């Protein structure tokens, strides 16, 4: 197995594009809506150090866990869906890297088991409201919520993130906008506002180019007919406490 990407270079400007999503270690694209490992690798190297404690409170298929372990960072990964955590356990079952991995079934709005001011870096990837539903009926699954309820749910997420992060440390999250009835809703900036309201300061906005969107072919015709552009970017917001 290949444990590192070939010729990896840190990103230096605010537009990131990874046409090859990254297939080293145990990474794959099977978990719906999962993230390229290049994103987590860049964020972890730039905003954390070896032996730091990292938090990903929407851990999904475990991309961040694999990268943190390989890069000798310790990480806590939480998700509300037990099936996701099962995938995470398989993904980190390898012997390379010295990072400890703690996997917990938990709601990102209630991280009571994490002490105040104890985390060195948060990097996470919440659902994009209900664009992808990650379960059918898990009560605390915020991917089942409509736009406004999702934003309300992100308020306690932001409060918890601020509480557990050490002062002067960074919190980054990945999110996209959505199109409803051919109009754009700025889910990214609306979510960012919830984090700013609890005290985070925006340090960087990165545009991440989206490749191989599954629905591109279906939507191409609709986009032409309705005279709009297909969304092919997401945001990575990096904030400081
Ligand atoms: C976009 S996915 C994360 C994908 C992940 N970055 C990866 O690369 O595999 C978002 C995750 O948030 C989880 N989720 C939804 N509501 C949650 C909540 N209240 N607390 C924690 N996780 C939640 C979903 O189960 C889903 O796995």
* String of DSSP letters for 134-165: --SS-TT-GGGS-HHHHHHHHHHHHHHHHHHE
Residue 22 token pair: 């990254």
- Range 218-223 average pLDDT: 81
Q: Whose CA is nearest to atom 12 of ligand 1?
A: 58
Q: From the alpha carbon of 84, which atom of ligand 1 is closest?
A: 27
Pocket test for ligand 1, best of 55, 114, 134 (most atoms within 8 A of CB): 134
Please name the residues in contact with 223: beta carbons below 8 A apart, sequence gap of 6 or more.
Answer: 229, 230
- Rounded distance from Cα 12 to ligand 1 centre (Å): 28
Spatial contact of 211 and 21, defined as CB atoms under 8 Å apart: yes
- Range 124-149 average pLDDT: 97
Which residues sit with their C-beta closer than 6 Å to ligand 1? 31, 33-35, 57-58, 60-63, 78-81, 84, 107-109, 125-127, 134, 140-143
CA angle 30–35–41, rounded 5-degree value: 125
Q: From the alpha carbon of 31, which atom of ligand 1 is closest?
A: 9
CA distance 179 to 187: 10
Provide the CATH topology of domain 15-240.
Rossmann fold (3.40.50)
3 state DSSP class of 38: helix
pLDDT at 225: 85
Compute the Cα dihedral for 129, 183, 33, 221 and give only its sign.
positive
Closest C-alpha to 174, from 215, 210, 211, 120: 210
pLDDT at 208: 97
Spatial contact of 106 and 85, defined as CB atoms under 8 Å apart: no
- Range 112-139 average pLDDT: 97
Q: Whose CA is nearest to atom 7 of ligand 1?
A: 34
Residue 207 pLDDT greater than 90, yes or no = yes
Pairing mode of beta strands 233-240, 201-209: antiparallel
Residue 52 token pair: 């730091």
Q: Whose CA is nearest to atom 27 of ligand 1?
A: 60
CA distance 5 to 42: 12
Task: Give the pLDDT band of residue 182 (cuts 50, 70, 90).
Answer: confident
Q: Whose CA is nearest to atom 21 of ligand 1?
A: 79
Spatial contact of 230 and 209, defined as CB atoms under 8 Å apart: no
3 state DSSP class of 101: strand
pLDDT at 224: 85
3 state DSSP class of 224: helix
Q: Please, what is the angle between helix 82-91 and helix 63-70, to 10°?
A: 30
Task: Give the pLDDT band of residue 214 (cuts 50, 70, 90).
Answer: low
Pocket test for ligand 1, best of 60, 61, 139 (most atoms within 8 A of CB): 60
- Range 59-85 average pLDDT: 98
- Rounded distance from Cα 145 to ligand 1 centre (Å): 13
Residue 213 pLDDT greater than 90, yes or no = no
Using a cut of 0.75, tell me whether the model's pTM lies above it: yes
Share of the chain above pLDDT 90, in %: 88
- Rounded distance from Cα 79 to ligand 1 centre (Å): 6
């Amino acid at each position: 197995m290949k444990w590192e990407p070939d010729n990896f270079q840190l990103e230096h400007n605010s537009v990131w594009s990874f046409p090859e999503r990254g297939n080293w270690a145990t990474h794959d694209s099977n978990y719906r809506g999962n993230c390229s490992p290049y994103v987590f690798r860049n964020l972890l190297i730039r905003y954390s150090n070896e032996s730091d404690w990292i938090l990903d409170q929407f851990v999904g298929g475990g991309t961040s866990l694999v990268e943190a372990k390989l890069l000798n960072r310790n990480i806590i990964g939480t998700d509300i869906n037990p099936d996701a955590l099962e995938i995470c356990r398989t993904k980190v079952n390898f012997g390379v890297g010295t990072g400890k991995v703690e996997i917990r079934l938990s709601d990102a709005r209630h991280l009571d088991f994490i002490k105040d001011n104890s985390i060195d870096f948060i990097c996470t990837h919440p659902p994009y409201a209900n664009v992808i539903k990650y379960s059918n009926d898990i009560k605390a699954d915020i991917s089942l919520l409509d736009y406004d309820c999702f934003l309300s749910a992100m308020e306690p997420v932001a409060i918890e993130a601020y509480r557990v992060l050490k002062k002067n440390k960074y919190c980054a999250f990945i999110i996209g906008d959505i199109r409803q009835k051919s109009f754009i809703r700025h889910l990214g900036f609306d979510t960012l506002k919830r984090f700013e309201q609890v005290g985070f300061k925006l340090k960087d906005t990165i545009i991440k180019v989206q490749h191989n969107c599954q629905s591109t072919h279906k939507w191409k015709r609709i986009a032409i007919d309705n005279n709009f552009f297909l969304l092919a970017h997401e945001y990575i917001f990096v904030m400081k406490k």
